[in-house]
Amino acid sequence: MPEICRFYGIIISLFWKDHNPPHIHFTYGDYKCSMSILDRIVDGQAPAKVIAKVNEWINQHEPELLELWGKAQRGEKLNKIEPLK
């Protein structure tokens, strides 16, 4: 599971050849969640402030994330995405 970004203690990753819909996985301490890229449905639990930060980051990088999702589906190398500042 390649790490594609890290900020404020949040680690964001994608799995190769993962199931649809396009989504990211993130951890924060002991919390583990996934969030769909297009409709922002969260699977798992994390503090609301963390979910809000991840959602803000997705808003800033949605086209890049969808491109990386395609690469991950093909098993290609994934580049990092700028963190939330």
Residues 15-49 pLDDT 10s: 999 999 999 999 999 999 999 999 999 999 999 99
Q: What is the CA radius of gyration of the chain?
A: 12
pTM of the model: 0.94
20 torsion bin: left (phi>0), alpha (psi -120 to 50), beta (else): beta
Confidence of residue 60 (pLDDT cuts 50, 70, 90): very high
b/e 6-35 (16+ beta carbons within 10 angstroms → b): eeeebebbbeeebeeebbbbbbbeeeebeb
Tell me what the mean pLDDT of segment 74-78 comes to: 94
Measured CA to CA, the distance from residue 83 to residue 43 in angstroms comes to 22
- Above 90 in pLDDT, residue 1? no
Chain mean pLDDT for the chain: 96
